Chains A and B, each alone.
Chain A
């Protein structure tokens, strides 16, 4: 099944941290793109992986599942995973799934770098 990829994900190195900036909705059709980006970032063994989510106005459970998977991989690799800049809609799905205490979530990118 061909999947559309109308989501953009840029990455930036800040010290030993890798910051990913996804822009677009993250749903069943787009979460594989996020998964691949996070896998590539973790392969570089950063000290910390930050996902800056201000450009994501919508996320469904497939996006959340992708982040849970990344959290489990990063823990095994000893890499800290931090989410930041969540929009209200995206934050609400973490609350519904009762995952807001499971992830490290910062208000903004500065907070994520200093968590």
Chain B
């Protein structure tokens, strides 16, 4: 596993969660991610957006990757980003679904108002990095990074 931006080898994730492909577990996953994001300094709206991106990614895997087949594995891995000038969080979500060409994973035209198809747009909109790749020999990987902005930081002083 390498860093999405620098290609440096990655340390083991601080958090690694394996869940089954069922909508029941979405709430728990986003509560975990939201809670960790808050501990890393994101405010309520910022941590909510990170949890939303994770939720959308998981929903896409359940709906499209596994086509609603329950009991298939999904992994969420999370690293705090503590680098100088760019603290934040990195999140990698992996599955064992069929390969898709990453170039074909893109948000739809928002001018065309219709139900569905917003998940990828939301992920790319709320995260600073959202990079899809194929796992070997099977499955997809989504690498996301969100940097802590000054305006998003939880106020530490009273």
Q: Which residues of A contact B (CB under 8 A)?
A: 1, 3-4, 25, 27-29, 58, 60-62, 64-66, 68-69, 72, 88-89, 92-93, 96-99, 102
Contacts and interface: CB of A to CB of B under 8 A. Distances in A.
Interface of B: 22-24, 26-27, 30, 44-45, 48-49, 52, 55-56, 59, 62-63, 68, 70, 110, 113-116, 118-119, 121-122, 125-126
9 contacts: A28-B62, A61-B119, A65-B115, A65-B118, A72-B114, A88-B44, A92-B48, A97-B118, A97-B121
Contacts of A58: 30, 48, 52
A72 B49 CA distance: 27
A72 B113 CA distance: 10
Nearest to A102: B113
Contacts of B26: 27-29, 60
A28 B48 CA distance: 16
Given A27-B59, A28-B63, A92-B48, A61 B118 contact: yes
A29 B23 contact: yes
A61 B24 contact: no
B56 A25 contact: no
Contacts of B62: 28
A96 B22 contact: no
User: When A and B form their complex, which 6 residue pairs have the shortest distance between CB atoms, in order from nearest?
Assistant: A29-B23, A65-B115, A61-B118, A69-B115, A28-B23, A68-B115
Nearest to B111: A98
Contacts of B23: 1, 3-4, 27-29
A68 B55 contact: no
A1 B56 contact: no
A59 B113 CA distance: 18
A89 B55 CA distance: 14
B27 A64 contact: no
Contact of B59 (A28, A92, A96, A99): A28
Given A61-B118, A88-B45, 4 more contacts: A1-B70, A60-B52, A69-B115, A96-B122
Contact of B116 (A65, A96, A102): A65
A61 B113 contact: no
A29 B49 CA distance: 19
Contact of B27 (A25, A93, A97, A102): A25
B56 A61 contact: yes
A97 B110 contact: yes
A4 B25 CA distance: 10
Contacts of B122: 61, 93, 96-97
